[in-house]
Each structure stands twice: as C-alpha cells, then as structure tokens.
Amino acid sequence: MKLRLFGAVVALAALLGSAQAGQNAASMDFAVFRNGAQIGTNKITVDRDGTATTVQNDTHIAVGFGILTLYRYDQSESERWASGRLVALNAKTDDNGTEHSTSAEAKDGKLVLRVDNKVSEVPPTAVPLSLWNSEAVDSNVAFDPEDGSVQPMKVVDRGVEKVVVRGRESSAHHYQLVTTFPEDVWYDDNNQLVQVELKGRDGSTIHYQLR
C-alpha cells in the first residue's frame, strides 16, 4: 500500500510540474511571406523554468504555381538552454527533398555538432541561427541548424524602429545579422522576436510576420 501511495504522489508531482511548465510556455506564430504572398508558417514555443529554457521551432513552407508545388521546406527543431548557454539541439530538415539531421551537445567546455553522422566541435559561445533568442546579437559565431555550417557573424545595430505587430504599430529593436546568409531581425521591449526579413536564393524577399 505504501509503495502504491508513493507512486501516486510521484505521478501527481510530475503532473503538476508538467502543468506548471506549460503555464510558463510562450508561443510565437509567424506567417511567412515571399514577395508579399504567404507561403508558410513558423511556430516557436519557448518554455522557461528558472535558468532552464526549452524551445520547439517548427517551419513549414510550400511555394507553388497553380496546383503544382515547386518548392517545399519543412524543419522541426528543439533546443535546451541552461543559464544562457545552449546545452542541446536536435533538428530534422527536408529542403525540397534534401534531408539533414543535426544535433548539438555541450560537452567538456565545447559544443559538439553532429550533422548527418559527421562530428565537429565549435566554441561553446556559438549560437544557432534560430533567431528566437535575442542573446544571439551578443555572439560573433553562429551555426545553421539545417546543415550545421559554422560561420563568423557580425551584428549591426540599426536602432529602434516602428513596426506593425499583430495589426498594431509598435517599437522594436532592429539588428542585421551579417553571415554568409544575412538576415534582419526585430525584437520588442521584452526581447521577443517580432519580425524577420531576408533574401531568398532567387533574390526574392522573405518576410516573417508575427500574427
């Protein structure tokens, strides 16, 4: 009887802990546009529990012509952070039929990357270019969760600007992240990502708008 009671208490504690974690979660839903036309969605869920943070980041994009799908991109990525440092990352990407599996793990003062079963090491200060984290602007080295490519990053502070967030004009801090694939990002007063803009490989303008 005592063992059964103990098991019930443990199960209840786990359930309450899970419910509390869910209460701390914040979701960001973005519509993704190409030259003004919506082509997909990006949903980011950030769950903070003290110094620990878990992130789920899912992107789905499809570009078509009539009933034909000409390009498709799907990525599911999860991250774990502790005291402002990346602890682990796992990402699965399908870039129009080209698939990648990427993982990262903090180990012995380094960040170990495994991309399609190839292993490398990067500085522990390297940040993934998942953009949700405003602390990315404090780093000078980044890696792409899609294929693990590591690159130096220069951050240009463009100052505070007015942007439209969920139909309302709001102030946001604009940064340009200069890598081999430059991106512009905007964070609000709470350091939450509210807008992203970049150039596609074909020269088109890709815009992420919080909704």
How do the pLDDT tens digits run along the chain, 211 residues long? 443 433 443 343 444 444 454 557 899 999 999 999 999 999 999 999 999 999 999 999 999 998 999 999 999 999 999 999 999 999 999 999 999 999 999 999 899 999 998 999 988 889 999 999 998 899 999 999 999 999 999 999 999 999 999 989 999 999 999 998 899 999 999 999 999 999 988 899 999 999 9
Q: Is 194 in contact with 171 (CB distance < 8 Å)?
A: no
- Strand, helix or coil at 158? strand
**Count of structural domains within the chain:** 1
Nearest-angstrom CA–CA distance, 113 and 100: 13
191 CB-near residues (< 8 Å, 6+ apart): 134
Q: Are 63 and 78 within 8 A, CB to CB? A: no
Those residues with Cβ within 8 angstroms of residue 104's Cβ, 6 or more apart along the chain or in another chain = 86, 88, 89, 111, 112, 113, 114, 128, 143, 148
For 90, the domain range is 2-210
Write the CATH number for 111.
2.50.20
pLDDT of residue 23: 59
What is the pTM for the complete model shown? 0.85
pLDDT of residue 206: 97
pLDDT reported for residue 6: 38
b/e map 129-167, b = 16+ CB within 10 Å: bbbbbbebbebeebbbbbebbbeebebeeeeeeebebee
- How confident is the model at residue 8, as a pLDDT? 43
E strand or H helix at 19: helix 2-23
Q: What is the pLDDT of residue 10?
A: 37
Q: How far apart are CA 55 and CA 132, in angstroms?
A: 9
Residues 81 and 55 sit within 8 Å (Cβ to Cβ): yes
Q: What is residue 22's predicted lDDT score, i.e. its pLDDT?
A: 54
Pairing label, strands 110-115, 118-122:
antiparallel
What's the confidence (pLDDT) of residue 143? 94
Here the tokens at position 97 are 């039929």
Supply the pLDDT for residue 183. 96
